Structure 1
Amino acid sequence: MSVEAVGKTRRGRGARTSARQVKDFTMLPALKRQMPLTEMMDQEQVERIDAASMHILENVGVHFRDEIALEDWRKAGAKVVGENVYLDRGLVRELIKTIPETFTYHARNPANNLPFGRDHAIFVPMTGAPFLRDLDDVRRNPTLEDLANFHKLSHMLPALHSSAHHIVEPYDHPISQRHLRITYSSMKHSDKTFMGMTTSPKNAEDVMEMCAILFGEDYLETHPVVTGNCNGNSPLVWDETMLGAMRAFNKRNQPVLCSPFVLGGANTPASVAPTVAQLNAEALSALAYTQVVRKGCPAIYGHYLSTVSMKSGAPMAGTPEISMMNMMIGQMARFYGVPWRSSTNLGGAKTFDAQAGYESATTLMALQMAGTNYMWHSAGWNEAGMHCSMAKFVVDAEQCAMAHRMASGIRWDDFDEAVAAVGDIGPGGHYLGHPHTLENFQRAFFMPDLFDNNSIEQWQAEGSIEINQRALQYTRDLLASYQEPSLGEDVNEALLDYIARREREIPAADALNQEY
């Protein structure tokens, strides 16, 4: 039974409970997009953005606040003055040409491998929330157990293609050692691909060592298995922490998201097209650097994109300008022939309310139209990323499944049989008992688990349960039925031994020590 086969019927709560008990948790394949792309710019405008970005790189320059990176750029032929690197457009174009347009993510369960890039896309849950809204809808600090629960949900929800990394920050573990436990949780509780911590160069190296234990050192050389994220400091700065982490991933042939952190109107011009020109320059400078580190290493054009309220200075989600910029950035990434990342299902609401739903739906639809490859923050994001909601997490994942179905395009394989059924039924009949309906009803129309489409009388008879409460109960049911995909005893022991050794070496009390 496919994920689409499980949903509301008019047989009541007992039937829905029975359906949930036989639910298939098989991961959906990577989305192979069949819907047309929305492109806001014509070719002349694409080239105008490109020319403006190249002008910025050649004449304004980008700060690389890292001695190793500065020396790398000197050797590569760039003009370096202090921390400022001036990048010739010819050099940039030559470097980014070596980035693979497509590659395959390899999971520890080969059934969960994912083709990626061009028309293939994946959904990845949110990360980095300092708070959560838990199963009692209480906003509080998260723990390692909470993180594990989110990784378990990521494993079970078919539309999510990754367990990410620190979906929530586990406050019950020292920050200097936290990356080790976060990485282990990602690996242990799911056999999908995952993300690796890039909070410092040493932390990134620890992630690489743990990946080598899980997959084998030689395997990493030829197989992307994990994703790092390196944020730039807009405008036009890459710092030592991010660049060191980037090198740790690139040297092991693992992809990173080269992500300018854009707050439109605050750290970019207060206008859509110039913002994209600056963001594009920032992303290109980092993408080019990945190829200085290791030519041919996979890399992803990234960004975190928000606009700022000119009334309060607060970041906003779901605004029309964000959608337009995502469509423009998609065009620029395709212009350069590189895969790209954006963020979806973003909400600024403080609870899982209508605002959260509207904002999330807007960003989700925009990314399908824009042709995004790496759709990050796909589940749970609310309060501008300050908390991850367990209720919103599962509903967002179901929305991703719906987006997956829509963007996969129209099925034609049963067209002739279905048209023949029209002749069988004729005027005034119904199709409910026809053989074609009985054979295809489970896949014909998406039937959500978490939306209520019953009559108001039935909804009232079942307790007038609204979406937040329904989603929380659904989450409890999922976690109760979780089955761990075993790591294997030898690998598990090796990972735990590595963590134990590193935790002895890393001073737990020095919570802010960025060397680690």
Structure 2
Amino acid sequence: MNVEATGTTRRGRGARKAARQTRDITMLPALKRRLPLTEPMDQEQIERIDAASMHILENVGVQFRDPIALEDWKRAGAKVVDEMVYLDRHLVKELISTIPSSFTYHARNPANNLPFGHDHSIFVPMTGAPYLRDLEDKRRNPTLDDLANFHKLSHMLPAIHSSAHHIVEPYDHPISHRHLRITYSSMKHSDKTFMGMTTSPKNAEDVMEMCAILFGDDFIDTHPVVTGNCNGNSPLVWDETMLGAMRAFAKRNQPVLCSPFVLGGANTPASTAATVAQLNAEALSALAYTQVVRKGAPAIYGHYLSTVSMKSGAPMAGTPEISLMNFMIGQMARHYDIPWRTSNTLGGAKTFDAQAGYESAMTLNAVLMAGANYIWHSAGWNEAGMHCSMAKFVVDAEMCAMGYRMAEGIDWSDFDEAIAAVSDVGPGGHYLGHPHTLEKFQKAFFMPEMFDNNSIEQWQAEGSVEINERALTRARDLLNEYQEPMLDPAKNEELLDYIARREREIPAAEALNQDY
């Protein structure tokens, strides 16, 4: 199915066909990291963080604002006083020991299945933006069509491993129905793995039912196909909405990110090490609870990590302490042998400018060197998550591809051939026409498509086009070349029937508001 994106100029079918024949959109396999990790803590410091976290769990406690969770904890042997749960360190470690250290994500296209955990990493786009910067670089409210365009881009960008879920909020649909349309868009426009909405327990259950339609009820009970995210309320609170959604995923054996929402210095101590100790306690309490719900269910040590400007109170991105905390959190997750999630190319800039690039590159390098497994918010994030930028989305994806190449480590496969070329060329020669160069030049060195490396004269002759404009052109081209990976017609009909039934059952009480 060929699609014309809003704001594009129409091109002939022949041009689109030629572009499809030359552009390789095959998804990269899960990244298998081969570089040494950055691990600033020694074993004594790891144990110090662990001991501080266990002290918090045992003596300060974690508030579980959910009657079902409180009863579950009582049955598991925890000390429960009102809504406070005090977790013995031995109980916590016994529970988290049953979390799988690795598993495989299954996509509707088996070629896009992903090994996950240990030294494997995947890149996942940003989600949750209430605004977008569109194909004309206009900041506005998103629609379901805009969300579909981001899912299509996710499908076509090789370094992106998932279509995520609500990359942008579709404001042209009632809030109470959005999770259904968002999930269907993730499934329909890409055959990669995706994320599932956790905005309420019932919404999470709807996602599980839609996954059961797509993959089969028995299949999802034994195969991870979707990822949920549950955010804690730092400091030390898990609420009824998140816990109910967590149960919906864990009961069906689907992985959930257990993610404290950290604003360093605001809802944690103004200390890098102490922030990690509190975050670690919060994450462990939720990870342990997933195993109370279902022993052996996959779960991922998560966090959303930012520091707060002490001048304005605004969250910051790309700061040194964020990198240090990512290094430390990676060490703690490996200490417990649990896969972990981080956030990637975050930017606080209001446009796709130099600030956005520097912040994003700082974070990308840090999370790769920290050894993160689930690298979320890897494309499009800007303005502290308030908007997703079409231009930044495609450039971030190329940055992930470059990070992927770096983290794969050194390729020694043709070392002897290349050394032999030195003897062939000798002093004062050049390698441009050598058979080894002609055979290897396309893959020997990464050649960015979004970055201009021509001379200034050539750049000026071609119109002095800067990266934002180049990226928007690339996004338009990709959307014009997009071909839908068609759903099985019977499953598609069943999904649409389920959505229609649930939309009849769920009151569309929330009025549409185009001025958010």
Q: TM-score range by the shorter chain?
A: over 0.9
Q: CA deviation at 1:40?
A: 1.2
Question: Closer, same or farther in 2 for the Cα pair 1:109/1:149, shift >3 Å?
Answer: same
> What is the alpha-carbon distance in structure 1 between the residues aligned to residue 400 and residue 69 of structure 2?
38
CA distance in 2, matches of 1:434, 1:136: 45
Is residue 351 from structure 1 mapped to residue 369 from structure 2 by the alignment?
A: no
Q: Distance in 2 between matches of 1:430 and 1:163?
A: 44
Q: In structure 2, how many angstroms separate the alpha carbons of the residues matched to 1:288 and 1:501?
A: 35
**Partners of 2:471 and 2:347 in 1: CA distance:** 17
| SS of equivalent to 2:418 | helix
Write the letter of the residue equivalent to 2:123: F
- Superposition map of 1:108-507 within 5 A: 108-507=108-507
Residues of 2 paired with 1:511 and 1:295: CA distance? 41
**Residues 237-264 of structure 1, C-alpha deviations (whole Å, 9 max, x = no match):** 0000000000000000000000000000
Give distance in 1, aligned partners of 2:162 and 2:474.
20
* Identical amino acids, percent of aligned pairs: 84
* 1:13 match: none
Give 1:83-122 correspondences, 5 Å limit: 83-122=83-122
Q: After superposition, what is the alpha-carbon deviation per residue over 1:170-189, rounded to whole angstroms, capped at 9, x for unaligned? A: 00000000000000000000
SS of the residue 2:227 aligns to? strand
The amino acid of 1:131's aligned partner reads: Y
Distance 2:294 2:301 in 1: 16
Q: By how many angstroms is 1:18 displaced? A: 7.6
In 2, Cα distance between the equivalents of 1:466 and 1:18?
Answer: 26
Question: How many equivalent residue pairs?
Answer: 497
Question: 2:199, 2:346 → 1: CA distance?
Answer: 22
CA distance in 2, matches of 1:438, 1:106: 38
Per the TM alignment, residue 323 of structure 1 is displaced from its structure 2 partner at its CA by 0.2
Question: How many Å separate the matches in 1 of 2:376 and 2:487?
Answer: 25
Q: CA deviation at 1:510?
A: 3.8
Task: Give unmatched runs, 5+ long, in structure 2.
Answer: 1-16
Q: Distance in 1 between matches of 2:148 and 2:449?
A: 23
Give the corresponding residue for 1:10.
Answer: none
Cα offset for 1:488?
1.3
Letter in 1 for 2:453: N
Alpha-carbon shift at residue 463 of structure 1 (Å) = 0.2
Secondary structure class of the residue paired with 1:440: helix
Superposed CA offset, 1:117-165 (max 9, x none): 0100000000000000000000000000000000000000000000000
TM-score by length of 2: 0.95
Q: Distance in 1 between matches of 2:105 and 2:165?
A: 16
Tell me the SS of whatever aligns to 2:394: helix
Q: CA separation in 1, counterparts of 2:243 and 2:366?
A: 30
C-alpha offsets along residues 328-379 of structure 1, whole Å, 9 cap, x if unaligned?
0000000000000000100000000000000000000000110000000000
Deviations 1:351-409, CA, capped at 9 Å, x for gaps: 00000000000000000110000000000000000000000000000000000000001
The Cα shift of 1:313 comes to: 0.2
Aligned counterparts of 1:486 and 1:494: Cα–Cα separation in 2: 14
Indicate the residue corresponding to 1:3 in structure 2. Answer: none
Distance 1:262 1:231 in 2: 10
Paired amino acid for 1:165 = H
CA distance in structure 1 between the aligned counterparts of 2:306 and 2:510, rounded to whole angstroms: 33
Contact 1:264 1:307 in 2 (8 A): yes
**Equivalent AA in structure 2 for residue 149 of structure 1:** N
Separation of aligned partners in 2, 1:300 and 1:83: 25
Report how far residue 434 of structure 1 moved: 1.0
Name the residue aligned to 1:5: none
- Please tell me whether the aligned partners of residues 20 and 481 of structure 2 are also in contact (alpha carbons under 8 angstroms): no
CA contact (8 A) 1:232 1:242 kept: yes
- Structure-1 separation of matches of 2:110 and 2:428: 50
TM-score (norm 1): 0.95
**Distance (whole Å) between structure 1 residues aligned to residue 498 and residue 272 of structure 2:** 47
2:269–2:275 CA contact under 8 A, matched in 1: yes
- Cα distance in 2 for partners of 1:272, 1:21 equals 50
> Which residue of 2 is the match for residue 9 of structure 1?
none
CA contact (8 A) 1:64 1:83 kept: yes
What root-mean-square deviation, in Å, do the aligned CA atoms of Structure 1 and Structure 2 show?
1.2
CA–CA distance in structure 2, aligned partners of residues 435 and 102 of structure 1: 42
**2:490 & 2:30 partners in 1: Cα distance?**
30
Judge which range, 199-208 or 435-444, deviates more: 435-444
Alignment partners' CA distance in 1, 2:204 and 2:458: 53
Q: Distance in 2 between matches of 1:511 and 1:75?
A: 42
Inter-partner Cα distance in structure 1 for 2:18 and 2:417: 31
